[in-house]
Amino acid sequence: MAGIDYTERIPNNVGLAENLRLQRALEDWQPKFLDWWRDMGPHGYQAKETYLRTAVSVDAQGWAQFGYVRMPEYRWGIFLAEPEPGRRISFGDHKGAPAWQEVPGKYRGVLRRLIVTQGDTEPASVEQQRHLGRTCPSLYDLRNLFQVNVEEGRHLWAMVYLLDAYFGRDGREESEALLQRRSGDRDKPRILGAFNEKTPDWLSYFMFTFFTDRDGKYQLAGLAESGFDPLSRTCRFMLTEEAHHMFVGETGVGRVVQRACELMRQHKTDDVRPHGGIDLRMLQRYLNFHYAVSLDLFGSEISTNAANFYTMGLKGRFEETKKDDDHQLKTATYTVTGLDGDRLVTREEPALPSLNERLRDDYIADCQRGVDRWNRVIKEHGIDFQLRLPHRAFQRAIGLFADVRVSPEGRVLSQAEWEAKKHEWLPTEEDQAWVESLMRPETEPGKFASWIAPPPRGVNGQPLDFEYVRLA
Ligand code: BYC
């Protein structure tokens, strides 16, 4: 069961060969996916061989193998984590009942919406990143970008499988629509805000994979608790792949920090720009932007949707089964930050509608751990500077703080104060122009652009000067 059948047109461990209706639906969708990939996938590299990992089983150990692949020939497939025998729903109104193997009729619409929202982010991120190849800081980074891209493509397959297998005709229509919306398109945008922003350069990309892919981790973790067992199993396997995406973000930003520190020490200056680096204050502005956009992805602080998803047993908390409470939360409360006039205050709110905020809190703590690791690098260089996560109310577009201006320290500001200061807090046009000017491709094996330190080791035990992408 753990093995994946690669002799089939669509590799899978869901017994596709025995389900002809589903097989036909997916085989019909496959060429449309490939058309989308060719149009919207990594620009300029479709014919190049890249050293990629492909899932070969869903075991915790040894689930992937590495080899050269041209991206359009990547074996996108459908892989679910092993079933847990006798699994029961662990939260909400149906707590204790056997996990659903079919969609519960009364929750069909809500569940479909959740799956579509999740699915929509996957192709969106590929679209956002499609022009990055031509400015890669190294072949190592180029390969990591393409690894992330093909896996986001596979995550789209994961959601399309659920739609086609369990939602009949409207599921198939949603599968088509996932290939028709476009990141940033005025008429057919992607569903969630962050996925319509541009990822114009590699600094933005590393910030995106650190902050926005981490939202993916927390949302997938909530869906992995779902009472709808096929969703739970597919999300559990997606999380295995997701870990690499966050590795790319954390080490990517970490290497930019390291390079800035090296240049600061070497040239005894805070201004590393003349030496081809990205200075720490600019890095902080990029961090502020990506963090705020990613906080928005958790939805409103007080949300009846979130309460319903939970009560219905569709989306749980992070590590739901490890929590020691009644898993129904009807009388529980949760501390939520809100506004009282022009002051930020905390209040006890009913726990159920506060579940978005609770997941956001788990996420913030995780982000902080990453920022602490970057700050350790700065400290090790003897530099007196710390990167900081801005206040959760800073620069928000969704939820309680969408209509106020708040400083990174958490002070509510007048519009005039905001206008006077925002260039210190968010990437300026000058910053963007500087970062853009650094984006020159470095494609010689083992070489790295001026603004980023090499990683400590290569991919899968290969040396740093390995030919991770064959450009010839
Ligand atoms: N932008 O009660 P509310 C990933 C909508 S990332 C635009 O506040 P709710 C990945 C919301 O849809 C993980 N619209 O929020 C990362 C709702 O609209 P409807 C993606 C937004 O519903 C990197 C209305 O506002 N997965 O995997 O409690 C690379 C009121 O909603 C936004 C998921 O998100 C926004 N930021 O929670 C690749 C999991 N926020 O329905 C991949 C599935 C809210 O009234 N989604 N709205 O028309 C969910 O669990 C929930 O839909 C949300 C929102 C957490 C997103």
152 lines ligand 1 (CB under 6 A): yes
Closest CA to 323 of 221, 247, 205, 246: 221
Tally of CB atoms within 10 A around 457: 11
CA of 51 to the centre of ligand 1 (A): 34
CA of 163 to the centre of ligand 1 (A): 18
193 lines ligand 1 (CB under 6 A): yes
pLDDT grade, residue 1 (50/70/90)?
A: very low
CA of 112 to the centre of ligand 1 (A): 13
Ligand 1 atom with the shortest distance to the CA of 303: 2
Q: Residue type at 321?
A: T
Q: What is the pLDDT of residue 472?
A: 83
**Long-range contacts at 53-56 (CB < 8 A, ≥ 24 apart):** 53/147, 53/460, 55/4, 55/79, 55/154, 55/237, 55/241, 56/3, 56/4, 56/6
Cα–Cα distance, 145 to 209 (Å, whole number):
10
Average pLDDT over residues 177-206: 97
117-135: buried (b, 16+ CB within 10 Å) or exposed (e) per residue?
Answer: ebbbbbbbbbbbbbebbeb
Q: What is the pLDDT of residue 427?
A: 98
Residue 442 has pLDDT above 50, yes or no: yes
Average pLDDT over residues 73-96: 95
Q: What is the pLDDT of residue 2?
A: 52
pLDDT digits (tens, 9 = 90+) for 287-314: 999 999 999 999 999 999 999 999 999 9
Q: What is the pLDDT of residue 98?
A: 98
Q: What pTM was computed for the model?
A: 0.97
| Percentage, residues of the chain above pLDDT 70 | 98
pLDDT grade, residue 395 (50/70/90)?
A: very high
pLDDT digits (tens, 9 = 90+) for 42-57: 999 999 999 999 987 7
111 lines ligand 1 (CB under 6 A): no
